[in-house]
Structure 1
Amino acid sequence: MNEPIKTKKISGRDRAYSYVRNIILSDPETAGTFLNEQELADRIGVSRTPVREALFMLATENLLQLVPNRGALVIPPSPDEIRQVMQAREMIEVWSVRHRVADHARIAATLEARVQAQRDLPNDAEFETFIELDRQFHLDLIRFSGNPVLSQMYEVLQARHITLGIKAMKRSAERLAQVLAEHQAIVDALAAGDLDRIEAAIRAHLDMTFRSLVLPV
């Protein structure tokens, strides 16, 4: 007789952490606002204790600031933090593609599918849907490095990645088309197997993202 498959139970703290990090903090409109423990607990369906633990974890990641008698403040990213996030992403992404030279054609095929999925989105698709595909595009780039520690490090940047990506889209109607062109340039460089061209395409993409976030509209 086959034994039933055991599934790992997700703790209330982890549910709260995932909800706040992936749903609340991915919305640029929440920047500068306070989160209420009880309201979050009611939404998630847990008690206040796991919510408090989750907020503390997010505060250690500098995504929130815990203010006594006020709640958890969603910290708006400063220009310096945006620059630092882009610098960290650049170092990880460039190292990843230089480390797996033999896999460039396979990486290009995978990323081409991501770009096509972005192109195929309907005109009325939510920015969040486009940015989720954008997130997967860059995460695929890292996963091909074969270094799980590097992938985990990159995952830490994902909350900011999503927030900043949506913010960039909302600031400029042209940014979506620019991202598609920049992603395609990365794919084409990978398909050509030109390391310098790949690195230049990644740097150009991240630089344009930074500029779209900090320069006046």
Structure 2
Amino acid sequence: MPSARDRAYAWIASAILSGDVAEGQFLDEVTLAREVGTSRTPVREALHRLQAEKYVDLVPRRGAQVRVMSSRELREIYQARFVVESDAIAKICRRRKGPPPGMAQLLDDMEEAGRQEQWRSFAQMDQMLHLNLVRHQGNSVLAEMYESLGPRHTRLSVRTLVEATERLELIEQEHRELLAALQDHDADRAIEVLRRHLREIPEIIEAFTG
């Protein structure tokens, strides 16, 4: 059974990802404890973890506030992802390692989640797909650095799918193109697909502030 802290973490993270609590909203520990069915201590511990993962900000004398993500942060995350992932792709193709194990099955599962509009599941699998790509090159330090972006990656993916659901088909197509390029050990093609995949989408940028 998950601990009370883990239950609190999962409940709050889910509420943020689903939009049940809005960006900028303050979270009341007493209310959260009642919703999760725990004391306030596990909730407080969960909030500290969520702060580390950039879900919330802890504001002195006011408590936890759902973090507001800006368009600048969105751009910077995409830029960081491109730098790390393109480097991984170049090394994977040069060594002719092919795609990460299980990538094709993961894409099948993602597409099924997309058909059912299970955006959180899709986003979590999307984050895992790209993390597996970075891990596949064999640099554990880069993989750990990339994994630290995971919560923000997932949150941005959910927001993208909610704001521009029509992009789902294109996202899935680009994933398939990336898989094919990796199978062919074609770094140039794979990196170009990644560049298109992480390009700025005006309607998404506009959905974020600042």
Q: In structure 1, what is the equivalent of residue 51 of structure 2?
A: 59
- 1:25 to 2:25 alignment: no
Q: Does 1:214 align with 2:205?
A: yes
Pairing of 1:109-188 with structure 2 (within 5 A): 110-121=102-113, 123-188=115-180
Aligned length: 205
SS of residue matched to 2:198: helix
Q: C-alpha root-mean-square deviation of aligned residues, in Å?
A: 2.6
Give the match's secondary structure for 1:24.
Answer: helix
- Once residues 75 and 113 of structure 1 are traced to their aligned partners in structure 2, the CA distance between those partners, rounded to angstroms, is 33
Q: Which moved more, 1:62-71 or 1:182-191?
A: 62-71
TM superposition shift of 1:77: 0.6
Task: List structure 1 segments (4+ residues) > 4 angstroms apart after TM superposition.
Answer: 9-15
In the TM superposition, residue 72 of structure 1 has moved relative to its aligned partner by: 1.0
- Do the aligned partners of residues 48 and 131 (structure 1) sit closer, same or farther apart at CA in structure 2, a change above 3 Å counting? same
What letter matches 1:83 in structure 2? Answer: R
Comparing 156-165 and 60-69, the one that deviates more: 60-69
> Could you list the runs of 5+ residues in structure 2 that have no partner in the other structure?
none
Identity of aligned residues (%): 33
What amino acid does structure 2 have at the position aligned with 1:179? I
Instruction: Report how far residue 121 of structure 1 moved.
Output: 4.1
User: How many angstroms does 1:52 deviate by?
Assistant: 1.9
Change (3 A) 1:106 1:179: closer
Structure 1 residue runs of 5 or longer lacking an equivalent are 1-8
Give the TM-score taking structure 2 as reference length.
0.82
Q: Pick from 184, 187, 190: which aligns with 1:192?
A: 184
Change (3 A) 1:38 1:140: same
**2-structure distance, mates of 1:28, 1:196:** 38
Bigger CA radius of gyration: 1
| Alignment correspondent of 1:105 | 98
